[in-house]
Amino acid sequence: MTEQVKTVGEVFQDYEKQSNIKQTSILKINLFKKSNKLEIALFSQNYIRPDEILDFEQFLKERFFIDNIEINMQYEASVAIPEISKQWKLIVKYMAHKYPFTEFLLHNSRVEVNQCLVTVSLSVKGADFLVARGFDKALEKTLKSLYKEAYKVTYVEDLQEEDMKKIEQSYKLTEKYEIEKAISEMVVEEDEIVEAQDDLPREELETSSINVQENKEEKTPLILGRNANIKESIIKISEISIDSGKVAIEGEILNVSSRTLKSGKILILFDVYDGTSTITCKAFVEEEKANSIITRLKQTKAIRLSGTARI
């Protein structure tokens, strides 16, 4: 006797959100304990929007403490599936949930679909980075999961002069705001930094110790700080919040810049990417030490560092 296929609403009765996904039939559920991954195949007689799938995935993550949820949709032949271009904003939101770093690069992007070729036009620089990190393949996988079609994805940069001016102006205002707040709200003592929290809408890491993961040419792996042995446990950048306090991370340096403050101190800023997300790191150093630190940061591909997470 064949077991009756149940719906999402019947199996997950504590999923209270009003969504069409509750009427979908569960074809298969696979749990991979070693990789902490859950795969679910669903069949529906109605189109399920990407945001509905995203909400259900989030429910499953919180309900069962599973890191990786993969939902594969199957539809009845008569179901009309909207074009990718009409669902693009919802797809970007879905991608940003799975791959946090894409949120900034895909913001204000446009998409064109020509048969099985999907061309994503970016309003900011980042096409090479997305391809280098495999986000073209990630989007192809997402589209196949949502639409059951195999698409080839390519990223291009479509930077209009007006967009470039807005981006440049935004960068200048942000940098000016950061420096002014750093000067007015921080107290800098020898070998110790206490930085006041500001209102910038992003997470930053005030670094206290930085060491190189692998650099045989240097006599010491320590770049900045008192001790090369970082005691804090390494956590994922995507897990950092304002309540995290003192944390340790490791990853790849994306860029390095510096500013001279009125106090004579040098503000060094650099971004670290660990595969889950990116965070801006800040360090305030003496002028005579700055060049050596900046040089080593630019020459180093991977670092381990500790600091205090701030907003």
C-alpha 209 chain-centroid distance: 23
Q: Where in the chain is the domain with CATH 2.40.50.140?
A: 194-310
Amino acid at 189: E
Query: Cβ(105)–Cβ(124) under 8 Å?
Result: yes
3-state secondary structure 174-214: HHHHHHHHHHHHEEEECCEEEECCCCCCCCEEEEEEEEECC
Is the pTM higher than 0.75?
A: no
Q: Where in the chain is the domain with CATH 3.30.300.180?
A: 82-159
Query: Cβ(73)–Cβ(53) under 8 Å?
Result: yes
The confidence score (pLDDT) of residue 311 equals 63
Write 102-105 long-range contacts (CB < 8 A, 24+).
102/130, 102/135, 102/138, 105/129, 105/130
**Segment (H or E) for 122:** strand 117-122
The confidence score (pLDDT) of residue 169 equals 60
Q: Is 105 exposed, middle or buried (0-12, 13-18, 19+ CB in 10 A)?
A: buried
Q: Which CATH architecture has domain 1-81?
A: 2-Layer Sandwich (3.30)
The confidence score (pLDDT) of residue 216 equals 44
Q: Which CATH architecture has domain 82-159?
A: 2-Layer Sandwich (3.30)
Query: Cβ(73)–Cβ(47) under 8 Å?
Result: no
The confidence score (pLDDT) of residue 55 equals 92
Give tens-digit pLDDT for 18-64: 889 999 999 999 988 877 888 999 999 999 999 999 999 989 988 88
Residues in contact with 288: Cβ distance below 8 Å, sequence separation at least 6, in sequence order: none
Give tens-digit pLDDT for 202-222: 456 666 666 655 444 446 788
The series of mean pLDDT values per 10 residues for the chain, 311 residues long, is 76 90 93 85 91 91 85 88 90 86 84 92 85 87 85 86 58 57 44 33 59 53 80 85 81 87 87 86 89 88 84 63
C-alpha 57 chain-centroid distance: 17
C-alpha 99 chain-centroid distance: 5
Q: In degrees rounded to 5, what are phi and psi of residue 85?
A: -60, -35
Q: CATH assignment of 194-310, given 2.40.50.1070, 2.40.50.140, 3.40.190.290, 3.40.50.2000? A: 2.40.50.140
The confidence score (pLDDT) of residue 146 equals 83
